[in-house]
Chain A
Amino acid sequence: MLRSLKHRGPDSTGFAVYGANTPGDYVMRFVLAEQEDMSKGFDMKKIVEERLELVEERLAEHGAEVKHRESATDYAKRFIIHHTGDTELMARHIEDIEGVEILSMGNSLELIKDLGDADVVSDQYGLGAFEGTHGIGHTRMATESDVDIRSAHPYWAFPYNDVSVVHNGQITNYWIMRRQLERQGHRFMSHCDSELLAVYTANNLANGVTLEDSMRRSIGEIDGVFTYLVATKDQLGMAKDTMAAKPLVLYQSDDLIVMASEEVAIRSILPQEIDTTDPYDEEVFVWQA
């Protein structure tokens, strides 16, 4: 689907995919540097190795057992860890290492994003072999923030292990909302307005708000034009702003939900004749597995 949306922007591509899970096990996807940093200076490789050693140290410090290690690139790693303590505290401690960002720490979620189009990122991270139940993805043309991994979608709704967000649009009260959320202790890793939706969702979930209520609430509280999707281990949600200014095409049947900004993405996987619709303004759907 993302391949067919390449024309929307080839700057970066991201996938939030949901697979099998084992209680207490987390897949930690993290980067030790931005892609472009790797070509800066002769010592970069050594710096990245040192950062990796620090990550291992801090994982051990928090009692996490690393069961499996993979390297998609020199700067992007995938660890399967077993941990029964406070994952938020551990994540914050790891992200305290300069240049290190945890993309996701999911029991079911794995979040992969990098610069390049869908084929490049998928091949680089071996996504073709991934088996799972659902996922959301994004292909980006950077308009208001940098072309780097931290500004790419999807966003992990830190510290909720299995919540991810993708967004199409512009949020015009970004700074007001960001400052409010920062005052409440939430962390922002980028200057991309889309990240706000992930943090906003995380904040609502922390306050006991259901995903559906959070998405309904967002329509009144977040200014601008937006269509965004949220995925959890067993839920998938979509919300459209009050102007319905950003597109979304939806197909749903008894056993399949497919959404995309353009029909062409849906038709790329469902060539047979199907009925699709455009959700209206202020519409929110949340599907429960």
Chain B
Amino acid sequence: MASVTDQELKQMSQEERVTAFGMRTEQLTGRSLYIEFEEDEGSNFTYPWAPDVDFNKRVEIDADEFDTTGANNKIRELMEEGYGTIVIKNPRGKHSLGVGILSRLNLIIEGSTGYFGVGLIDGPNVRINGRVGWSCGENMMSGTVLIEKNAGSTFGAAIRGGDLVCRGSVGSRTGIDMKGGTIIVGGDTGALSGFMMQRGRMVVCGNAGKNLGDSMYDGTIYVGGEIQSLGVDAVPAELTQLDKDWLTRKLSQYDLMPETGVDHFTKVVAGKQLWNYDNLEPNEKKLIL
């Protein structure tokens, strides 16, 4: 700070000013990859009450025969019986299907779901052959969710962990308030995606709507197509080799790797000017803004 004069600050770009104030030390890992557990802590990843399921035991549920609560209770009942692969047929847009599953399970939903599908999950691998409504995967903690078609708005709201993948396009405010994990969108995403993002990574292979990453605290957004506009405090950053390697690995994993590779992706991170917990005095903040 002491080495930068007011005159120099005025001539700097927004991103340069932020860096000059020592407010951003961007790297691939960032906060998103802080190691929060040891590898040998595997036993902590299962809840003591989690049913012991066998993935080779497969069963089908016809959702037409249940309301949402009934279908979700049936899933739990079948897991207690040891079924590790459960197929839900005829979901017909029902809301909140498959929520709150806190252990390992292969859940296959053959059709489309409504709002809040597979939210609050911690561990299952979910595949949805249709479209999902608003807030799919909200607050998910771990596991994978793969959607074959499109998704509604607030996709992966407040997600904390795991991979949430949509092969099609998603609505607005994707990953709003996300606190970890990875969201991957094969197509486009709407306005205000990454709004108030705090951790984790979002990958959009297509275009992003206006105000991308608005008010994001941390985390990283990668966009393969065009960005209509960046939100407040969202800034572009250098796409490093580590980023490219990670993108290649992750997109290949879900068969979403673009033919053109990942070199063209734009990386967006938080400018961190909006942070209220830094050491800047109010007059210093004014200088930056």
Residues of A that sit less than 8 Å from B by CB: 242-245, 247, 249, 262-268, 271, 273, 275-278, 280-281
User: Which residues of chain A have C-beta atoms less than 8 A from B131's C-beta?
Assistant: 263, 275-277
Beyond A262-B115, A263-B133, A275-B131, whether A244 also contacts B149 by CB under 8 A is no
Q: Are A244 and B114 in contact (CB under 8 A)?
A: no
Q: Is B220 an interface residue (CB 8 A)?
A: no
Q: Are A262 and B133 in contact (CB under 8 A)?
A: yes
Partner among A242, A243, A267 whose Cβ is within 8 Å of the Cβ of B112: A267
Q: Are B150 and A280 in contact (CB under 8 A)?
A: no
B27 to A: closest C-beta gap in Å: 33
**Stretch in contact with the other chain, from B34-42, B90-98, B241-249, B271-279:** B90-98
Q: Are B150 and A243 in contact (CB under 8 A)?
A: no
User: Which residues of chain B have C-beta atoms less than 8 A from A243's C-beta?
Assistant: 172, 191-192
A268 to B93, CA, bound (A): 9
User: Which residues of chain A have C-beta atoms less than 8 A from B93's C-beta?
Assistant: 262-268
User: Which residues of chain A have C-beta atoms less than 8 A from B153's C-beta?
Assistant: 244, 247, 278
B175 to A: closest C-beta gap in Å: 15
User: Which residues of chain B have C-beta atoms less than 8 A from A277's C-beta?
Assistant: 131, 150, 169
Q: Is B127 an interface residue (CB 8 A)?
A: no
A280 to B169, CA, bound (A): 10
Q: Are A264 and B114 in contact (CB under 8 A)?
A: yes
A186 to B31, CA, bound (A): 57
Q: Is B210 an interface residue (CB 8 A)?
A: yes
Q: Are B133 and A244 in contact (CB under 8 A)?
A: no
Residue among B111, B114, B192, B209 with the highest chain A CB neighbour number at 10 A = B114
Q: Are B92 and A276 in contact (CB under 8 A)?
A: no
User: Which residues of chain B have C-beta atoms less than 8 A from A245's C-beta?
Assistant: 172
A57 to B112, CA, bound (A): 55
Q: Are B152 and A244 in contact (CB under 8 A)?
A: no
User: Which residues of chain A have C-beta atoms less than 8 A from B190's C-beta?
Assistant: 244, 278, 280-281
A271 to B90, CA, bound (A): 8
**Interface hits, B204-230 → A, CB 8 Å:** 209-210
A247 to B93, CA, bound (A): 14
Q: Is B113 an interface residue (CB 8 A)?
A: yes
Q: Are A244 and B112 in contact (CB under 8 A)?
A: no
Q: Mark B147-162, 1 if CB is under 8 A from A, else 0.
A: 0011111000000000
User: Which residues of chain A have C-beta atoms less than 8 A from B134's C-beta?
Assistant: 247
User: Which residues of chain A have C-beta atoms less than 8 A from B192's C-beta?
Assistant: 243
A242 to B228, CA, bound (A): 14
A271 to B92, CA, bound (A): 7
Which chain A residue lies CB-closest to B131? A276
A171 to B: closest C-beta gap in Å: 19
Beyond A262-B133, A263-B112, A275-B150, whether A280 also contacts B172 by CB under 8 A is yes
Which chain A residue lies CB-closest to B190? A280
A242 to B115, CA, bound (A): 21
Q: Are B172 and A281 in contact (CB under 8 A)?
A: yes
Q: Are A278 and B171 in contact (CB under 8 A)?
A: yes
Beyond A267-B92, A273-B111, A281-B209, whether A249 also contacts B191 by CB under 8 A is no
A19 to B60, CA, bound (A): 44
Beyond A280-B171, A280-B172, whether A263 also contacts B113 by CB under 8 A is yes
A194 to B95, CA, bound (A): 27
User: Which residues of chain B have C-beta atoms less than 8 A from A244's C-beta?
Assistant: 153, 171-173, 190-191
A263 to B111, CA, bound (A): 11
Partner among B94, B130, B169, B170 whose Cβ is within 8 Å of the Cβ of A264: B94
User: Which residues of chain A have C-beta atoms less than 8 A from B209's C-beta?
Assistant: 280-281
User: Which residues of chain B have C-beta atoms less than 8 A from A262's C-beta?
Assistant: 93, 95, 114-115, 133
A143 to B217, CA, bound (A): 34
